[in-house]
A = this chain, B = another copy of it.
Amino acid sequence: MPQVPSTRWCPTPEQLMILEEMYRSGVRTPNASQIQQITARLSYYGRIEGKNVFYWFQNHKDANSVCKMEAGDAEEASSTSDATLRHESMAMVDATWAVPPCCRPLRTLDLFPTKSTGLKDECSTTSKSSCSTTTNYMAHSSLHLSLPK
């Protein structure tokens, strides 16, 4: 039971930004060397491995349409939810998508903590305040499915 920190890669905003920009630039499937460079560069902002980059581009079909729900069906609070469509199936059912507010609060707190002293764990559950930011990206819609409205 490894409490090992072997966590899943947590893309930081900076990393994301760069990746997205690259994607926008036309990068689709970087080669090994490309990946290496990208990884090296991104690793500056946080832990990242080559495979992360690789998979990211693999999964990053299109970050388009941060579709929003249609105003006609839900009267939820609608906290600017953007349904991130991932698969075609989802794309179609999008109509029903009305994802409320589940964004991912990036807990990028300040610098690395020096928690030797009685500092509470930095990963405290709280502090999930603003999940705004542009954390939501990625919408894997594929094909030609009519996405969102």
- Taking beta carbons and an 8 Å cutoff, which residues of A are in contact with B? 1-8, 10, 12-14, 18, 22, 25, 27, 29-39, 41, 43, 45-51, 53-54, 74-78, 83, 87-113, 115-116, 118-128, 133, 136, 138-139, 141-143, 145, 147
Judge whether A141 and B33 touch: CB under 8 Å. yes
Given contacts A36-B92, A92-B33, A99-B51, contact A124 B109 (CB under 8 A): yes
What chain B residues lie within 8 Å of A145 (beta carbons)? 31-33
CB within 8 A of A46: which of B8, B87, B89, B104?
A: B104
Bound Cα distance from A46 to B141, whole angstroms: 25
| Copies of this protein in the complex | 2
Report whether B93 and A10 are in contact in the complex, using a CB–CB cutoff of 8 Å.
no
Contact check: which of B41, B125, B141 meets A34 at CB < 8 Å? B141
Does A37 contact B96, Cβ atoms closer than 8 Å?
no
Instruction: Give the 6 A-B residue pairs with the shortest CB-CB distance, closest first.
Output: A50-B93, A32-B92, A10-B123, A5-B107, A47-B104, A50-B96
Which residues of the other chain, B, contact A35 by a CB distance below 8 angstroms? 89-90, 92-93, 96
Contact partner, A12, options B8, B34, B77, B127, Cβ 8 Å: B127
Task: Kindly report which residue of chain B lies nearest to residue A147, judged by CB atoms.
Answer: B29
